[in-house]
């Protein structure tokens, strides 16, 4: 009986952290869909978001709402800046060059954070509720549950923006056919900026949540590696894929961590990654691109 309870508790915790993978994966997919850039720096952007929040809330002692707002603004500015100074000049270069550029970007962000805040792990001020929460008999950390709830709200906002907002429609148009979008009068470079801004804001919010649960450190960017697995498994250009795969990877990591041991966490996800790459290289929900000469 207790075994079942443990399984349920582990699964709930896994799905909870999977929500964070899902929104970070969403940020990744957004950039990929609109600009065809594989952004390996997403984990570092997330880390920077967490540190900026730390700077506002602990350093400047701002109230939670102001600090969160400030983080969102800074993350948006960062996204716009990255897009304008680094990604725009690479327009038309090979995707692999841009991919490597984002690796360099990740290194710059990590170094900057270490330079400002030091290399030691820090704790964010407590802003998520901390009392234990029970679903039936199963214990759920209320931090994880709240983070999951916030992540779900972010996802809903995201989907609504995509569906109804003018800019979101422009984004989808650009994603499906760049040239056609241009000829219909959509300002494609602006859409590029927009997608980077929204993605960085989303990653920043995810960073605030991840940091609140596990503390912050400059090595938080490793989170990005798991997100990479999420988006590959789900399909690089699929929003639904990112959501489903995010939850699934969170679950898988939690189960592997609980039943096999902590060191098996990344192993399990990466083995899954290899299997998916061998069987369905374009991911579970991704579009299968046909290449012609």
Partner 1 sequence: MRIGTAKETYRHDEALFDTPVQRWWLAGLFVAIAAFPFVADAYWIYLGCLVAINIASATGLNILTGFTGLVSLGQAAFMGVGAYIVAWLEINLGTPFFVNLLAGGLGAGLIGILVGIPSLRVKGLYLAIATIAASVILHFVFANWTSVTGGQSGLTMPPATFLGTALDQPDKLYWLIVPVTVLMVLGASNLFRTRIGRAFIAIRDRDISAEVLGIPLLRYKLYSFALSSFYAGVAGGLWAYFFRVVTPESFPLVMSIFFLAAIIVGGMGSILGGILGAAFMTMVPEALKLIVGWLSPWLPDAVALLSPVRTIVFGALIVGFLIFEPRGLAEAWRRLRRFFHLWPFKT
Q: Which residues make up the interface to partner 1 (CB under 8 A)?
A: 38, 86, 89-90, 93, 95-97, 99-101, 103-115, 119, 225, 228-229, 232, 263, 266-267, 270-271, 273-274, 277-278, 281, 291, 293
- In whole angstroms, give the CA distance from residue 147 to residue 129: 10
Smallest gap, in angstroms, from Cβ of residue 224 to partner 1?
11
Smallest gap, in angstroms, from Cβ of residue 154 to partner 1?
25
Smallest gap, in angstroms, from Cβ of residue 233 to partner 1?
11
Residue closer to partner 1 by CB (options 59, 167) is: 59
Residue closer to partner 1 by CB (options 111, 129) is: 111
Smallest gap, in angstroms, from Cβ of residue 92 to partner 1?
12
Which residues fall within 8 angstroms of residue 118, CB to CB, at 6 or more apart? none
Smallest gap, in angstroms, from Cβ of residue 28 to partner 1?
12
Tell me how far the alpha carbon of residue 2 is from its chain's centroid: 34
Residue closer to partner 1 by CB (options 172, 280) is: 280
Residue closer to partner 1 by CB (options 99, 259) is: 99
Residue closer to partner 1 by CB (options 179, 279) is: 279
- In whole angstroms, give the CA distance from residue 106 to residue 9: 34
Q: Which two tokens stand for residue 265?
A: 């966490």
Residue 71 in contact with residue 208, Cβ under 8 Å?
yes
104-137 burial, b at 16+ Cβ within 10 Å, e below that, comes to ebbeebbeebeeebeeeeeebeebbeeeebeeee
Residue 159 in contact with residue 203, Cβ under 8 Å?
no
């Amino acid at each position: 009986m207790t075994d079942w309870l443990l399984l349920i508790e582990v699964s709930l915790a896994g799905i909870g952290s999977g929500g964070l993978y899902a929104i970070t994966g969403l940020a990744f997919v957004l950039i990929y869909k609109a600009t065809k850039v594989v952004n390996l720096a997403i984990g570092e952007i997330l880390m920077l978001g967490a540190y900026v929040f730390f700077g506002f809330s602990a350093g400047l002692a701002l109230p939670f709402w102001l600090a969160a707002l400030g983080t969102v603004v800074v993350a948006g500015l960062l996204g716009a800046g990255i897009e304008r100074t680094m990604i725009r000049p690479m327009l038309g270069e090979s995707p692999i060059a841009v991919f490597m550029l984002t690796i360099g970007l990740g290194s710059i962000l990590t170094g900057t954070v270490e330079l400002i805040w030091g290399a030691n792990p820090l704790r964010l001020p407590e802003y998520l509720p901390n009392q234990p929460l029970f679903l039936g008999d199963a214990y759920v950390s209320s931090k994880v549950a709240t983070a999951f709830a916030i992540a779900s709200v972010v996802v809903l906002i995201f989907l609504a923006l995509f569906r109804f907002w003018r800019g979101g429609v422009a984004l989808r148009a650009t994603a499906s056919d760049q040239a056609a979008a241009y000829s219909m009068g959509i300002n494609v470079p602006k859409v590029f900026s927009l997608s980077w801004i929204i993605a960085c804001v989303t990653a920043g919010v995810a960073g605030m949540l991840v940091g609140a649960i596990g503390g912050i450190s400059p090595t938080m960017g490793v989170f990005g590696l798991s997100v990479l697995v999420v988006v590959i498994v789900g399909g690089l250009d699929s929003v639904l894929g990112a959501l489903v795969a995010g939850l699934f990877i969170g679950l898988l990591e939690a189960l592997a961590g609980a039943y096999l041991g902590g060191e098996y966490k990344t192993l399990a996800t990466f083995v899954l990654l290899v299997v998916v790459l061998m069987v369905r290289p374009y991911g579970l929900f991704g579009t299968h691109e046909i290449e012609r000469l």
